[in-house]
Amino acid sequence: MDDCLFCKIVKGDIPSNKVYEDDEILAFYDINPATPIHILVIPKKHISCHNDIAKEDEALIGKMHSVANKIAEEKGFKEKGYRLIINCGEDGGQEVMHLHMHILAGKSLGAKIA
């Protein structure tokens, strides 16, 4: 998608601080971190939001979780824990319309979610 910010990051047209990359998935540090460690995991394929996940994407979405686990282990926050967030649509507060999973870690986030 030509006018999508995260597709531009996938293509390398916009730089990012990469944490993980394979042929299907990219993970990079959020430019405006909400927690001491804030990483975004995205599919390289353009999927606008959670609503648009198709049956054929199920393995890809599962892989995003496996990548999050790998990152948690490699970055050393697996044992202390972390929060995964996917914002969807207006009420979900989604600002970038390319599916992404936030990994928030590095401090206690407490039990309250919203």
Q: How far is residue 103 from each of residues 1, 13, 14, 36, measured CA to CA in Å?
A: 24, 24, 21, 11
Instruction: Indicate the SS3 state at residue 28.
Output: strand
Give the whole-angstrom CA distance, residue 77 versus residue 74: 8
* CB contact at 8 A, 106 and 37: yes
User: Cβ closer to ligand 5GP: 36 or 93?
Assistant: 93
What is the closest distance, in whole angstroms, from the C-beta atom of residue 70 to ligand 5GP in the complex?
19
Residue type, 87: N
- Interface mask toward Zn ion for 52-91; x: CB under 5 A: ----------------------------------------
The answer to whether residue 100 is catalytic is yes
Residues 52-91 that bind ligand 5GP (CB under 6 A): 87
Q: Does residue 96 touch Zn ion according to CB under 5 A?
A: no
Give the whole-angstrom CA distance, residue 83 versus residue 100: 14
- State which of residues 53, 63, 78, 94 lies at the interface with ligand 5GP (CB under 6 A): 94
Q: Does residue 32 touch ligand 5GP according to CB under 6 A?
A: yes
Instruction: Indicate the SS3 state at residue 20.
Output: strand
User: Cβ closer to Zn ion: 2 or 79?
Assistant: 2
Task: Note the residues at the interface with Zn ion (CB under 5 A).
Answer: 1, 4, 6-7, 46, 98
